[in-house]
Amino acid sequence: MKRSISKEQIPALAGLWLPVFIQMGLIFYFSSQPSGSPALELFPLPAGIGHLGGYGLLALFLYRAFNKGFLGWSWRAAGYTFLGAFIYGVTDEIHQFFVPGRQALLSDVFINAIGIGLALAAIRFIINGWFYKRGLECSRKISGL
């Protein structure tokens, strides 16, 4: 069965995937900066926090794109998210090996994975747990059920 994308679906798909590609571009930009560059020196947080936050944000955007939104938990979307963000993190560390004054570190890959996992946990337990239940309670009260 061949699946095609209609012209009406393009804006919705762009809205889901554009943040993913922008975040990937930002990660690539910072990884491309040589050691001692102003972009890295002016970054206000330690490098580990940058990795944690950058890959956590990438995971949030990826999950949203794979799941077509945040509501409703999908193990499949979570698996694709983890795998996609993790592979991007590994390839980014390989890329850093070729940037002057930078190095590829296994510890950075580990920190990236923690950021990805924390983001997925936040989606699972905060957005789809607490907020989802509160939304159901509100809708039941409004509908009188």
What does the pLDDT look like over 2-34, one tens digit per residue? 677 777 778 888 899 999 999 999 999 999 999
- 4 falls within a domain: no
Asked whether the predicted pLDDT for residue 1 surpasses 50, the reply is yes
Cα 104 to Cα 99: distance, rounded to the nearest angstrom: 10
- 51 falls within a domain: yes
- 36 falls within a domain: yes
What local confidence, expressed as pLDDT, does residue 136 receive?
58
pLDDT tens for 88-111 read 999 999 999 999 999 999 999 999
Cα 61 vs. chain centroid, distance in angstroms? 4
> What single letter denotes the amino acid at residue 32?
S
Domains held by the chain: number = 1
Asked whether the predicted pLDDT for residue 113 surpasses 60, the reply is yes
- 39 falls within a domain: yes
- 26 falls within a domain: yes
- 32 falls within a domain: yes
Give CA angle at 18 (77, 40), nearest 5°: 100
- 1 falls within a domain: no
- 3 falls within a domain: no
Q: Residue 55 sits in which domain range?
A: 10-143
Q: In percent, how much of the chain has pLDDT > 70? A: 88
CB 42 within 8 A of CB 100: no
